[in-house]
């Protein structure tokens, strides 16, 4: 018998889909979601996801192997669709028998969903609009994450509460849908489950788990921060569309504005095309996030964080965070 009967009942489809004890995913966070955090989440009953980010196929190969050595529970791999070696990265996942691949960062390129499924894995996608979500789910994607603008990292323009009202009534009956963005407590989890979600995905709440390798200064900045400190980046040039990023405001936020001007100038001079310009922006983020997470440079690095950072107060083991979330969800449902 589950200790969380009401919550587990509402999570049943998500649990079956993920193969985990609870339908709580820890969203991939570049530099943070590596073997230690991913295995701790999966061992704690949640579902960890490796952030491939800009890793080479060899690095991903090693990371998956190391994660497998630390957990025998299922976990996923998050691949960024614009990665130039996407095909090889998919092959690495297939080689390891990875059960779930999450495709993030844009519309999956032609053939990628098919290639993942041919390798035996389930495919989880993001979709910014309901029409695209329907198209992706009908053409082979196995599950969807809707992620609102409260989230940390790269975000869309619409809040989670609106996406949930728009997508869940249309999709939740027939498809497995996870809700992400701005979830910091089990009360919120209960609410989205009641609206039809099969499960949830959290990032910010898990970034400072004990097992997270994020630098102690990165964690301390999270504990100090309030919701309002997690701001979205500003796009400076209308011709260079950059995906907004939510992060704690610091000097790095300003240097991103300068970077955009620099990339816009080389674009103007015709030295790079739009694709390359956008890649340069993404590489900037990857480097800046590494500086914050790994080196602990919380002034100049990118402190990607969601608004739920205001609810993160202390370092706790991943398994304890999961228990807390499940207890809160169960209490909330019991009070109904
Ligand atoms: C530090 C950080 C890094 C992230 N990196 C990625 C990433 O590499 N790929 C991705 O798909 N999402 C990334 N995300 C988003 C998370 O996977 C997750 O969807 C999001 O954090 C959920 O919203 P929350 O922050 O409100 O919990 C990142 C989030 C944070 C906070």
Mutate to test the pocket of ligand 1, among 24, 25, 26, 28 (most ligand atoms within 8 A of CB): 28
Q: Region 41-55: what's the mean pLDDT?
A: 97
Q: Measured from the CA of 303, which atom of ligand 1 is nearest?
A: 1
Residue 62 dihedral angles phi and psi, to the nearest 5°: -65, -40
Q: Measured from the CA of 104, which atom of ligand 1 is nearest?
A: 11
Question: pLDDT over 70 for what percent of the chain?
Answer: 100
pLDDT per residue as tens digits for the range 247-272: 999 999 888 889 999 999 999 999 99
* pLDDT surpasses 70 at 235: yes
Return the higher-pLDDT residue of 115 and 240.
115
CA of 271 to the centre of ligand 1 (A): 32
pLDDT at 243: 86
CA of 144 to the centre of ligand 1 (A): 15
Lowest mean pLDDT among 77-86, 169-178, 276-285: 276-285
Q: Region 290-304: what's the mean pLDDT?
A: 97
Burial level of 104, CB count in 10 A (0-12/13-18/19+)? buried
pLDDT bucket at 200, cuts 50 / 70 / 90: very high
Return the higher-pLDDT residue of 90 and 277.
90
Question: pLDDT over 90 for what percent of the chain?
Answer: 89
Domains recognised in the chain with CATH numbers: 5-213+311-331 (3.20.20.70), 216-307 (no CATH)
Mutate to test the pocket of ligand 1, among 197, 203, 304, 312 (most ligand atoms within 8 A of CB): 203
Q: Which long-range contacts (CB under 8 A, 24 or more apart) does 112-118 make?
A: 112/81, 112/86, 112/87, 113/139, 113/140, 113/141, 114/140, 115/87, 115/90, 116/90, 117/142, 118/94
* pLDDT surpasses 90 at 320: yes
Of 123, 169, 184, the residue nearest 308 (C-alpha): 184
Q: Measured from the CA of 202, which atom of ligand 1 is nearest?
A: 27
* pLDDT surpasses 90 at 190: yes
* pLDDT surpasses 90 at 41: yes
CA of 86 to the centre of ligand 1 (A): 19
pLDDT bucket at 27, cuts 50 / 70 / 90: very high
pTM of this structure = 0.97
Lowest mean pLDDT among 7-21, 29-43, 178-192, 273-287: 273-287
pLDDT bucket at 318, cuts 50 / 70 / 90: very high
pLDDT per residue as tens digits for the range 277-292: 988 888 888 899 999 9
CA of 272 to the centre of ligand 1 (A): 29
Q: Region 213-239: what's the mean pLDDT?
A: 95
pLDDT at 2: 80
Q: Which residues line ligand 1 (CB under 6 A)?
A: 27-30, 32, 51, 53, 78, 104, 147, 150-153, 180-183, 201-205, 207, 304-306, 308
Q: In this structure, which residue's CA is closest to atom 21 in ligand 1?
A: 203
- Left, alpha or beta for 70 (phi > 0: left; psi -120 to 50: alpha)? alpha
Question: Hey, CA dihedral for 108, 114, 115, 121, is it positive or negative?
Answer: positive
Distance CA 10, CA 313 (A): 28
Distance CA 101, CA 125 (A): 9
* pLDDT surpasses 80 at 1: no
* pLDDT surpasses 90 at 74: yes
pLDDT at 278: 85
């Amino acid at each position: 018998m589950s200790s969380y009967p009401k919550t587990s009942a509402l999570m049943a489809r998500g649990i079956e889909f993920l193969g985990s004890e609870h339908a709580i995913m820890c969203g991939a966070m570049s530099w943070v979601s590596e073997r230690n955090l991913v295995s701790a989440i999966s061992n704690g009953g949640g579902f960890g996801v490796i952030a491939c980010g800009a890793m080479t196929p060899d690095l991903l190969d090693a990371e998956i192997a190391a994660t497998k050595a630390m957990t025998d529970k299922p976990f996923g791999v998050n691949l960024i669709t614009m990665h130039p070696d996407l095909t090889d990265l998919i092959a690495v996942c297939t080689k390891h028998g990875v059960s779930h691949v999450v495709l993030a960062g844009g519309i999956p390129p032609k053939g990628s969903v098919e290639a993942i499924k041919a390798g035996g894995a389930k495919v989880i996608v993001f979709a910014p609009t309901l029409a695209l979500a329907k198209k992706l789910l009908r053409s082979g994607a196995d599950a969807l994450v809707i992620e609102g603008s409260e989230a940390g990292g790269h975000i869309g323009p619409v809040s989670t509460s609106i996406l949930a009202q728009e997508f869940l009534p249309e999709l939740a009956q027939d498809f497995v849908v996870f809700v992400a963005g701005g979830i910091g407590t089990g009360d919120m989890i209960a609410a989205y489950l009641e609206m039809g979600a099969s499960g949830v995905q959290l990032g910010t709440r898990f970034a400072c788990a004990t097992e997270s390798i994020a630098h102690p200064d990165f964690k301390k900045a999270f504990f100090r921060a309030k919701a309002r400190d997690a701001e979205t980046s500003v796009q400076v040039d209308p011709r260079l569309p950059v995906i907004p990023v939510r992060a704690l405001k610091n000097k790095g936020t300003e240097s991103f504005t300068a970077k955009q001007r620099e990339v816009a100038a080389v674009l103007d001079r015709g030295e790079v095309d739009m694709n390359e310009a956008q890649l340069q922006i993404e590489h900037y983020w990857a480097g800046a996030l590494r500086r914050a997470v790994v080196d602990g440079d919380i002034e100049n690095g990118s402190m990607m964080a969601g608004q739920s950072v205001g609810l993160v107060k202390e370092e706790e083991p991943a398994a304890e965070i999961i228990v807390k979330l499940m207890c809160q969800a169960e209490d909330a449902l019991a009070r109904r």
